[in-house]
C-alpha cells in the first residue's frame, strides 16, 4: 500500500495482485473441500495390556534363563529406535 501511496503504482502490480487473489481463492476452495481426517480409535484395554506385558517382561528379565526371550519381546515392542534429537541406535 505504501508503494501506491508513494506513487510507485505500476499496471503490473495490479496484474500480480489479481493473480495472487485468484491463487488464494483456489487454495481456499481446495481447503473447504478437504475432508477432516478420521479419528484414531484406540482400544480401551490397550494401557492395561501394555502394563501386563511390561510386568511379564520384568519378571523374565530377572531370570537369567529367560533373559534372551525377554530381550526379543522388548525389541518387538519398539518400532522406532531413536530419540527426538534424531540420534539412532541398534540393539546388540
Q: Residue for cell digits 540393539?
A: 91
Burial of 16-44, coded b for 16+ CB within 10 Å and e otherwise, reads eeeeeeeeeeeeeeeeeeeeeeeeeeeee
pLDDT tens series, the chain, 92 aa: 677 767 777 778 888 889 999 999 999 999 888 888 888 888 899 899 888 988 888 888 888 888 888 888 777 766 555 666 667 666 54
Report the pLDDT value the prediction gives residue 57, as an integer from 0 to 100.
Answer: 84
pLDDT digits (tens, 9 = 90+) for 8-22: 777 788 888 899 999
Domain ranges of the chain: 2-32, 46-77
Helix and strand counts by DSSP (H, E) for the chain: 4, 0
Report the pLDDT value the prediction gives residue 85, as an integer from 0 to 100.
Answer: 66
Amino acid at each position: 500500500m505504501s508503494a501506491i501511496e508513494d506513487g510507485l503504482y505500476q499496471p503490473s502490480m495490479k496484474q500480480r495482485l489479481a493473480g495472487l487473489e485468484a491463487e488464494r481463492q483456489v487454495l481456499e476452495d481446495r481447503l473447504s473441500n478437504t475432508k477432516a481426517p478420521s479419528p484414531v480409535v484406540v482400544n480401551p484395554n490397550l494401557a492395561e495390556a501394555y502394563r501386563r506385558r511390561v510386568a511379564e517382561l520384568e519378571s523374565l528379565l530377572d531370570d537369567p534363563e529367560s533373559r534372551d526371550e525377554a530381550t526379543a519381546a522388548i525389541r518387538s515392542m519398539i518400532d522406532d529406535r531413536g530419540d527426538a534429537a534424531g540420534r539412532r541406535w541398534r540393539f546388540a
